[in-house]
A = this chain, B = another copy of it.
Amino acid sequence: MQPQIEIFSQGEEVLTGQTVDTNAAWLSQKLVDMGFVVKRHTTVGDNLADLKSLLKEVSLRADCCICTGGLGPTQDDLTAQAVTEAFERPLQLDAIALQQIEEYFSRRKRVMVDANRKQAFFPQGSERIDNEWGTAPGFSVQQNRCWFVFVPGVPYEMKSMFNETIAAILLQRFSLQPDKLVTLRSVGIGESDLQEKLNTIHLPESVQLSFRAGADEVQTKLLFPATTEPQQVKILVNRLVDSIGDYVFAVDNLDERQGGLVDVIDQLMQQGQYRLAVQETASQGLIAAKCIAKPWLVASAFSQSLAHVADKWGVHINEGDYLSTAESCAHKIQQQEATHLVLVQLYRGSTQQFQQKTQTIVLYNLLLTPDGIRSSEFTVAGPVKRKQNQAAILALDLLRRYLQNR
């Protein structure tokens, strides 16, 4: 039975959205990797009543809780006070903590104001956690079911304290067996189609399957119990990859073929020592932008209209046959840029169809390679920025498919 942990962030600036709570995500990844089950994140503001009720809830519900923020010297830092009142543990001076805080200031030739004394008082029965990176020491205390760890909200201090001290204590206090997460990353197929393709495959009860759709890719996540044999993992994952097909461009945490779409392309382009030139339309610069600082992208051009593209490369527009027009452009570009690979994107649709979120365009991507022509055709819908991003991703995926399957 894996121990259940919660993360609780204190701070008005997080609650009001002035600050995005990156601490919670950072801690969660660490804790999941260690073998905890993260059950909840909660954020409350600098409000004594809210803090007390949350502390009481969590003490009955979780095995462990990491709390960030509210340890500062100012009047709106209420964490220790809230613990004192919620759990009837009077504040007591920790002489060593006080000494550390005084040293922190003397080292920096700064005068310690009275407000900082408050940071050396901890609720009765708690243990100090040293903070070499700031003025606020942390502390831990066991209450009811839950072992609470309180650390400052400053990311650098929190992360340093977790890595240097808290992680080791957690490994001592809890018997942990980390699960194994494998992520299948795919492009060009939706969540529901993935689900459909995988329905036929029987997964053991113990394996958790989940999906995650982003703007650039859809991820299929498999969580295996720590006890699963690597060989079993490999067999099952490969079975899933086979039934999804080559929509899958990478599998994180299984073999070397991992990373984002551009990472995978980068690896293969460098291996093949290829160079690429691109003509963009619907993606309007986004193909190039996504390949930032990749040495193999020699040049890219965007043109407002098909007529402008044809005029620029001096090719005839074959009415209705976008792919043959694209091919003519590709050959001209190859002559000028002398690259092994040329990617040309055209689309069918009016300005209005491109801009209206309720309307669609048809996207034509053509890749000129030493092994001949590759091309794809997709109907793309949604707001203009989604159409633009899809246009870039689907063009890059045509390149990825060529490089992976050649």
Cβ contacts under 8 Å, A25 to chain B: 14, 17-21
What does the 1/0 interface line of A42-61 toward B look like (CB < 8 Å)?
Answer: 11111000100010000000
Q: Closest Cβ of chain B: how far from A197's Cβ, in Å?
A: 10
State whether the Cβ of A76 lies closer than 8 Å to any Cβ in chain B: yes
B38–A27 touching, CB < 8 Å? no
Q: Closest Cβ of chain B: how far from A397's Cβ, in Å?
A: 17
State whether the Cβ of A234 lies closer than 8 Å to any Cβ in chain B: no
- Interface locus among A91-99, A168-176, A240-248, A380-388: A380-388
Give Cα A298 to B281, complex, Å: 11
Within 8 A of B (CB), among A40-91: 40-46, 50, 54, 72-76
Interface size class of A (residues with CB under 8 A): 35 or more
Q: Closest Cβ of chain B: how far from A186's Cβ, in Å?
A: 14
Cβ contacts under 8 Å, A383 to chain B: 133, 156, 160
Also in contact, A108 and B379, with CB within 8 A (given A72-B191, A195-B73): yes
Give Cα A380 to B109, complex, Å: 9
- Interface locus among A138-146, A224-232, A285-293, A340-348: A285-293
A74–B381 touching, CB < 8 Å? no
B308–A74 touching, CB < 8 Å? no
What does the 1/0 interface line of A103-131 toward B look like (CB < 8 Å)?
Answer: 00001111011111000000000000000
Extra 11 A-B pairs, beta carbons < 8 Å, given A14-B41, A40-B50, A295-B351: A13-B210, A15-B41, A16-B29, A21-B41, A40-B54, A41-B41, A107-B360, A114-B196, A280-B288, A285-B285, A299-B304
Q: Closest Cβ of chain B: how far from A156's Cβ, in Å?
A: 7
State whether the Cβ of A257 lies closer than 8 Å to any Cβ in chain B: no
B17–A20 touching, CB < 8 Å? no
Give Cα A390 to B384, complex, Å: 23
- Between A and B, 7 residue pairs with Cβ closer than 8 Å are A16-B32, A21-B25, A40-B54, A107-B360, A293-B355, A293-B388, A295-B351
State whether the Cβ of A209 lies closer than 8 Å to any Cβ in chain B: yes
B44–A43 touching, CB < 8 Å? no
A212–B18 touching, CB < 8 Å? yes
Cβ contacts under 8 Å, A384 to chain B: 292-293
Contact of A46 among B29, B39, B194, B210 (CB under 8 A): B210
Q: Closest Cβ of chain B: how far from A81's Cβ, in Å?
A: 15
B108–A76 touching, CB < 8 Å? no
A285–B300 touching, CB < 8 Å? yes
Contact of A360 among B38, B74, B108 (CB under 8 A): B108
State whether the Cβ of A335 lies closer than 8 Å to any Cβ in chain B: no
B18–A21 touching, CB < 8 Å? no
Within 8 A of B (CB), among A351-367: 351, 354-355, 357-358, 360
B292–A357 touching, CB < 8 Å? no
Cβ contacts under 8 Å, A27 to chain B: 17
A289–B292 touching, CB < 8 Å? no
B192–A113 touching, CB < 8 Å? yes
Q: Closest Cβ of chain B: how far from A286's Cβ, in Å?
A: 4
B107–A388 touching, CB < 8 Å? no
A195–B115 touching, CB < 8 Å? yes
Cβ contacts under 8 Å, A308 to chain B: 298-299
State whether the Cβ of A132 lies closer than 8 Å to any Cβ in chain B: yes
State whether the Cβ of A151 lies closer than 8 Å to any Cβ in chain B: no
Give Cα A355 to B312, complex, Å: 32
Cβ contacts under 8 Å, A293 to chain B: 284, 351, 354-355, 384, 388
